[in-house]
Structure 1
Amino acid sequence: MTAGADSPGPSLDGVLFDIDDTLVDTKGAFAVALDAVRVAYLPHLPAGGTAELLESWRADAGGHYRAYTRGETTATAQRMARANALHAEFGGPPLDDAGFAAWDAVFESGFEAAWAAHDDARPVLDSLAATGLRIGALSNARTAYQTGKLRATGLADVPVLVGVDTLGVGKPAPEVFLEACRRLGTAPSRTAYVGDELDIDALAAARVGLVGVWIDRPGARRAEVAPAEQQEAARAGVRVIASLRELLGHLGLST
């Protein structure tokens, strides 16, 4: 928890949310998708092997997804690169374009079927709405894709204001946070941003003047968080929560 995290937050006009693993249990959906991949492409792995696949997929050691958010590759190319990296690590066949298309159909079918909101998402959104604050989402995935995900998980009232396709880049680029605030109609200093990755979410938001909130849910993190990064976040006033149910208290809000 950051120093001063229990003190009242600044007066706010709006709250922006990350989507994956903040509002939606994307980690759980990835586990379902990767188990389907295991059955179809990695049958030599036991059912328990899905946990290792999930850890590798989320870590994305090759940095393919972040390259996509920097505008250096396409959504399809980054996923194909990650699929082939996964197969190389766990003994699966290499995938050419046609092979990846079939692989991706298996993955995406399982992924979409397993989309579900975190159980703390709906209550906090309703509580924020009761305060009169404006609410929106800023994501490092495509706008239409994320809009469909929110609709499928019962969170359609949260508009996706900025996706990676809006400006051609994603977080942590400063301009995406500023554009999301502009579309939300709020000043950055009067806007909170809530996300599950300290570096590209809460800390990046704080660097451009928003109130950064890091939701550090229990369980394995996507990647290690360096002590220096946590220290910088503390100096920047980043709030740290383990559940969205803690959000209003950390922002000094009440219904």
Structure 2
Amino acid sequence: MSQAAINAVLFDVDDTLVDTKGAFRHALTTVAAEYLAADAELADVAVFWRADRHGHYRAHTRGEMDHREQRMRRANDLHAEFGGVLMGDDAYDAWDVVFEQGFQDGWRAFDDAHACLDALEEAGIPYGALSNARFDYQNLKLAAVGLERVPMLVGVDTLGFGKPDPRVFALAAERLGSAPAQTAYIGDELDIDAIAATRAGLSGYWLDRSRGADAGTGEGGSTDDSVVTQDGLTVPRVATLREFSASIGPH
């Protein structure tokens, strides 16, 4: 698909518009201090949480368990690894209050998000968001970080499952009023974002902030390795949202 054909843009939310990794680190700092062994290293705790080695969150996005169950399982996995006690329902509910407060206190928009949205608006390109988290929760998150102008279109609870199912991308494009073939989608995960969107007929982009000189500010430049090929598909890889908005060209 030619870049000139792009009439609309869909965004992932977590670690695309919002620095969710940073928010998780903030939440896990408070959890570690209260619940884990004194010698637990925060960096290791954060890596373990993000890895989700038993795939509980992915199971949630496939509709196999609800949000509470996946987070409780991940919390108990964390405790088993770093010296916490196994939690039943009541203990977990208290734990989740601590975790969720720390998580929400850590929410921040990436510095390049507004510049990207400004560029799209100037070009007359409509945009919206889809996510593997709950619709209302992501609306809350976007508003909390000052990105309320991004309309949420599809959450994991909209259809009862999430990405990489192609129906999620199709519905989001429909709600945005754009044909999939004329819609770009950008997210931070290669498999369930860029490749899945491409398979669904959209123009999928992988946002790989590690390529930037300063991923926290979104100011980093790109490298010569501008595309990634996997399973016979080639998708553009960009380091920042500014690079993405520039790459899709004028409307």
- 2:59 aligned with 1:67, yes or no? yes
Which of 193, 198, 205 is the equivalent residue of 2:197?
A: 205
Q: Percent identity?
A: 54
Q: 2:242 aligns with which of 224, 245, 248?
A: 245
For residues 62-113 of structure 1, the C-alpha deviation after alignment (integer angstroms, 9 at most, x for no partner) is 0000000000000000000000000001111111000000100000000001
> Is the Cα–Cα contact under 8 Å of residues 211 and 237 in structure 1 kept in the other structure?
no
Give the conservation status (yes or no) of the 8 Å contact 1:143–1:163. yes
TM-score normalised per structure 1: 0.89
Higher relative contact order (CA 8 A, sep 6+): 1
For residues 127-173 of structure 1, the C-alpha deviation after alignment (integer angstroms, 9 at most, x for no partner) is: 11111111000100000000000000000010110000000000000
Distance in 2 (alpha carbons) for counterparts of 1:102 and 1:189:
46
Runs of 5+ consecutive residues of structure 1 not aligned to the other structure: 1-6, 220-229
What's the secondary structure of 1:231's corresponding residue?
A: strand
* Corresponding position of 2:210: 218
In 1, distance between residues paired with 2:234 and 2:88?
47
Counterpart of 2:168 in structure 1 is 176
Matched AA of 1:22: T
Q: How does 1:98-109 map to 2 (within 5 A)?
A: 98-109=90-101
Paired position in structure 2 for 1:25: 19
Give unpaired runs (5+ residues) of structure 2: 212-227
* Runs of 4 or more above 4 Å deviation: none
SS of the aligned residue for 2:18 comes to coil
Counterpart of 1:159? 151
**Aligned CA-pair RMSD:** 1.7
CA distance in structure 2 between the aligned counterparts of 1:17 and 1:205, rounded to whole angstroms: 11
Give the counterpart of 1:56 among 48, 56, 63. 48
Provide the residue aligned with 2:8 in structure 1.
14
Indicate conservation of the 8 Å contact 1:193/1:210, yes or no: yes
Give the CA deviation at 1:43: 4.4
Report if aligned partners of 1:212, 1:237 keep a CA contact under 8 Å in 2. Answer: no
Give the CA deviation at 1:8: 6.5
Residues 1-150 of structure 1: pairs in structure 2 closer than 5 A: 9-45=3-39, 49-150=41-142
TM normalised by structure 2 equals: 0.90
